[in-house]
Amino acid sequence: SAVGRGPEVPFSSEAYGISAVSRGKELRLRLAPLAPGGEPQDLVFRFGMSGSFRLCPADQLPRHAHLRFLTRESPPRALCFVDVRRFGSWRLGDTWQPDRGPCVMTEYQAFRENVLKNLDDKAFDKPICEALLNQKFFNGIGNYLRAEILYRLKIPPFEKARTVLEALKDQDQARKKQNPSLTLSKKLKLMRENPDLLELCHTVPMEVIAAEKKLLDPDHADNYAAFKNWLQCYLVPGMSSLRDHNGRTVWFQVGVWGVSSHTGQTPRKKCARLKADPEALTPKVTTHASKRHPRAAAKPPKSEEKEEEEEEAADGPRKGRARGRRKGTTTPTLSEPEAPVKVKRSRRTSARKGRGEASSP
């Protein structure tokens, strides 16, 4: 497509097959010619927030179909990479991004070892809710998954990541000493009966993929309703949400943990970062940006936009828009008196009196 951000794909074949394999938040496609002697072409995709593949008639292409694989049948069809928000991308070649760790689903044991042997890394100085989005260690965990994982274990989202994970390291060592000959089936049974944080990083996304009704299949009209019924914390009415230090929305249950004691910041600052949710009874926060653009402020936000550009950064804080947004100030909350205007007027009045000028009535 003319507006697509990815590179041109130099591939053409009379007949070819498409196969796919995923790793964390990446997907690799291989285009393999069926005729002997043809060279295959590999592409690695990142989906951002809204990227997906869709098979449709070639004369009924969906909007934002940025890459299309056409069939030779009559009438022809197109396999389209559709990305409304254009945060997704693709690149040529078969290599995964080097700064992403083992996949939480397909490489669980390597993923677990990668986390526990690197707890001295500065990434674990951050709150556990922020560390869970670091793709160097948690490749495949996104915003809704971190909320569901922390909620199930009742882990305070702003607890220091190293504090939470060091206990698992000691637990693993104790298990090896007590049961050095545990079979794989017994290990899986223990994981299901009493899962820890790293085990839930594997089993919770597997619930979504292995569900009898495909929760995230865009071809099913009721898939989003099924997905919302599966959620226990993320976007659930009655839950609370705050912005973390990277500008991403964290969903959690306040009554269980007392979040303000773990944030390291005053409750007022955190309240100012609350994101309005049309389904929850939370106070509305008005920003300077919304004053400049009242029409945009009046439009209720879509639930999917709460994650912001999560895929724009695989590791660490984002640059540009997110940093500017964090520095932006908010207007006082309703509990604060609106006194600054009156103070300024009284100063001008006293200044006139000092110069002998008559004050206006």
CATH of the domain at 188: 1.10.8.50
- Residue 211: the pLDDT is 74
Q: Is residue 329 within 8 Å of residue 288, measured between CB atoms? A: yes
- 75: cis peptide before it, omega within 30°? yes
Domain region containing 81:
16-92
Last residue of a domain, which of 92, 118, 134? Answer: 92
| Structural domain count, the chain | 2
- 73 and 165 part of one domain: no
- 35 and 138 part of one domain: no
CATH of the domain at 69: 3.20.190.10
H-helix or E-strand spanning residue 187: helix 184-193
- 123 and 233 part of one domain: yes
Please indicate, yes or no, if residue 232 is contained in any of the structural domains. Answer: yes
Q: What is the pLDDT of residues 154-206, one digit of tens each?
A: 999 999 999 999 989 877 766 666 666 666 666 666 666 678 999 999 999 99
- 80 and 112 part of one domain: no
Q: Is residue 254 within 8 Å of residue 240, measured between CB atoms? A: yes
- Residue 228: the pLDDT is 85
CA distance 217 to 227: 10
Q: What is the pLDDT of residues 309-343, one digit of tens each?
A: 444 444 444 444 444 444 444 333 333 444 444 44
Task: Report which DSSP code applies to 127.
Answer: B
- 195 and 143 part of one domain: yes
CA distance 126 to 115: 14
- 183 and 209 part of one domain: yes
Judging by beta carbons within 10 Å of its beta carbon (0-12, 13-18, 19+), is residue 140 exposed, middle or buried?
Answer: buried
Which is more confident, 187 or 20?
Answer: 20
pTM of the model: 0.67
- 117 and 179 part of one domain: yes
Strand partners, 82: 52, 65
- Residue 291: the pLDDT is 42
- 88 and 115 part of one domain: no
Q: Is residue 228 within 8 Å of residue 114, measured between CB atoms? A: no
- The mean pLDDT value of the chain amounts to 75
Which is more confident, 281 or 56?
Answer: 56
Across 155-310, where does the E strand assignment appear?
240-243, 249-252
Residue 301 has pLDDT above 90, yes or no: no
Please indicate, yes or no, if residue 310 is contained in any of the structural domains. Answer: no
Which is more confident, 331 or 118?
Answer: 118
Please indicate, yes or no, if residue 221 is contained in any of the structural domains. Answer: yes
Residue 89 has pLDDT above 60, yes or no: yes
